[in-house]
A = this chain, B = another copy of it.
């Protein structure tokens, strides 16, 4: 955690809103409804590092690995070509194993993740999405403590972490309502209903230890990935 330079988000137009990028060793929450581009956002974060030689780990808890790679190709990321990306999870069998592991003993799951991080020498880690992980615990207190243990462990390993989080409403920062308090940064992706269409909008809602832009601005999912337009402010209904 002695690193001083910011970590680029990998999303064009966003870094300037983050005062340069993420602070190394911190955890960001990227939350949004279905169709807001959370997975693309998170993969851009990993891809950006990988292109510059920084190894990244993408843990997908639900999406098929092949489909994921195909989807990402459609938004300009050639994952197989980049050497530095490790993808784990994805197949139903693997997810089922994770479920059992977490439910039996959270520590064993954390140990396994830690081992993967160390072996892959990853400096950037994504968990897509955190909902599926939190769903495995019943009491809210256990969910929260599990999230704390997970992010704490990853940050202590020196990783900069991005968690995607599904939400139900545009202004909500998370699903359960506590995730935003555990992490360092919160970026919300919104599907703003304009009169007769939906428009993508983004806002940096929280950033510990840093100034940040407080505007609500538009973004698009283009063939080259998410692009943020920091000067195109949006007024949500």
Contacts and interface: CB of A to CB of B under 8 A. Distances in A.
Copies of chain A in the complex: 6
Contacts of A180: 33-35
Give the size range of A's interface with the partner: 35 or more
Interface string A206-237: 11111100111100010100000000011110
B166 A178 contact: yes
A182 B62 contact: yes
Nearest to A64: B152
B215 A35 contact: no
A168 interface: yes
Given A1-B70, A35-B205, 20 more contacts: A1-B67, A26-B67, A33-B173, A34-B173, A34-B180, A39-B208, A64-B156, A67-B184, A70-B209, A92-B152, A99-B145, A131-B178, A135-B140, A166-B178, A166-B181, A193-B216, A195-B235, A196-B216, A197-B214, A198-B205
7 contacts: A34-B173, A62-B182, A64-B152, A67-B155, A166-B181, A197-B216, A198-B205
Interface of A: 1, 25-26, 33-35, 39, 62, 64, 66-67, 70-75, 92, 95, 99, 129, 131-132, 135-136, 140-141, 144-145, 148-149, 152-153, 155-156, 166, 168, 171, 173, 177-178, 180-182, 184, 186, 191, 193, 195-199, 203, 205-211, 214-217, 221, 223, 233-236
